[in-house]
Amino acid sequence: MVSGFIIYKAIMVVVVFLIGLGIAAYSTYAERKVAAFIQDRIGPNNAGPYGLLQPIADGVKMFMKEEIIPDVSNKFLFILGPSLAMLTACMTGAVIPWSSPIVINGVSYPLQITDVNIGILYIFGVVSIGVYGIMIGGWASNNKYSLLGALRASAQMISYEIAMGLSIIALVMTTGTLSLGEIAAQQAGWHWNVLYQPLGFLIFITCAFAECNRTPFDLPECETELVGGYHTEYSSMKLGFYLFAEYVNMFISSAIIATLYFGGYNMPLVGRFVTDPNILSILGVVFMFAKVFFFIFFFMWIRWTIPRFRYDQLMHLGWRIFIPLSILNILLTGLGILVFNK
């Protein structure tokens, strides 16, 4: 029984890890295609049919490139930076519920690596370690542009984490739990949290953009001002890790948004037609990934629509608009709970 449990967990870990990496790899392809389509172009179409082998070609290119570690850099920290970025990006996938449990031979297997009862806190903790990856990388490069980029990144991420956390507090007030598994299960049918927390969702998704360093908040790596930002000095697969971590983060953010606000694996009306829990569970995976893919697309869609904020505008937005707004959201939620006794 114990060994079976370990094997099941090991399979879950490996599958989630591989799916995460695979989706991140193909996000790079999707990003280029979406960018091209929005700009009336075709995009990569030479590597394989429709350019589908492009991520593999990019990966091979990244591995084959010469690796340069600057002479003046701190070598240990220089290598630690991208490793940390990649590690934290992959760690957050552990608490996301991919679907309702599957029952095999009377034993229930939840499709979630671990349902920690403080899942949201865990994610926040891991995400805030992710800032160190960028900070350390920028610091260890011993380069002005890298340092400025890292400084901006950490300032931005710390600022937006506050608003993000406050918007989550309102969500936790309505759900009454910090466990992602329970939050997803609560949203069966039409009880999606986005309907109860529209303002909170808006704040959360904007902060998620900022946390992922995506446009319109991609100031840490804005080429026009900072060359490459914190990864100016990086080359070869270390650079690849930084870029890849961004896409893994995007995937995880989409999964978290889908879980917290859009019902996770739940889909209204499906329960009426399908009653077998195992089929429902498999359908849940499909719905979950449909939602995740939509949000990944949304991330890209936003990126190729909105120009970058100026740095002072970014800070103004974070501190003077989003934080008061999320506090207001908490008050409104409290009032709502009081009045409707939900």
Partner 1 sequence: MLTNRSKVVVDKKMTFSERIYLPAIIGGLFITIKHFFKKKATIDYPKVTREMSGVYRGQHVLKVDENGAERCVACGLCAVACPAEAITMTGAERKPGEEKLYREEKYAAVYEINMLRCIYCGLCEDACPKEAIFLTDRLVEVSSNRDDMIFGKDKLKEKYFNEVDITKRLTKEVIEFKKDKFHLHNQMD
Give the footprint of partner 1 on this chain (CB under 8 A): 34, 37-42, 45, 301-302, 304-306
User: Which run of H or of E encompasses 103?
Assistant: strand 99-104
Amino acid at 188: A
Distance of CA 100 to the CA centre of its chain: 21
Considering the complex, state which of residue 238 and residue 303 has its C-beta at the smaller distance from partner 1.
Answer: 303
DSSP class of residue 101 equals E
Which token pair is 239? 């650079």
Of 7, 16, 30, 15, nearest in space to 247 by CA: 30
Kindly tell me which of 37 and 76 has the beta carbon lying closer to partner 1.
37
- Looking at this protein, which amino acid is placed at residue 299? F
How many helices and strands (H and E) does the chain possess?
Answer: 14, 2
C-beta of 41 vs 191, nearer to partner 1: 41
3-state secondary structure of 57: helix
Minimum distance, C-beta of residue 87 to partner 1, in the bound complex (Å): 34
Residue 263 Cβ, how far from partner 1 at the closest point, in Å?
22
Q: How far is the CB of 38 from partner 1 (least distance, A)?
A: 5
Residue with Cβ nearer partner 1 (111 or 207):
207
**CB 306 to partner 1: min, Å:** 6
The rounded distance, in Å, linking the Cα atoms of 127 and 129 is: 5
DSSP state of 94: G
How big is the chain, counted in residues? 342
CA-CA distance, 274 to 29, in Å (whole number)?
Answer: 35
Classify 104 as helix, strand or coil: strand
Q: Is cis: bond before 277, omega within 30 of 0?
A: no
* Secondary structure (3-state) at 27: helix
Nearest residue (CB) to partner 1, 40 versus 71: 40
In whole angstroms, how close is the CB of 40 to partner 1 at the nearest point? Answer: 6
Measured from the CB atom, is 39 or 275 closer to partner 1? 39
Q: What is the phi/psi pair of residue 43, to 5°?
A: 90, -175
Give the integer Cα–Cα distance in Å for 78 and 338.
52
Minimum CB distance to partner 1 smaller for 122 or for 201: 201
Q: Which is nearer to partner 1, 129 or 302 (CB)?
A: 302
Give least dist CB 302 to partner 1, A: 7
The one-letter amino acid at 70: P
Give least dist CB 296 to partner 1, A. 15
222 φ, ψ (degrees, to nearest 5): -70, 120
Minimum distance from residue 313 beta carbon to partner 1 (Å): 10
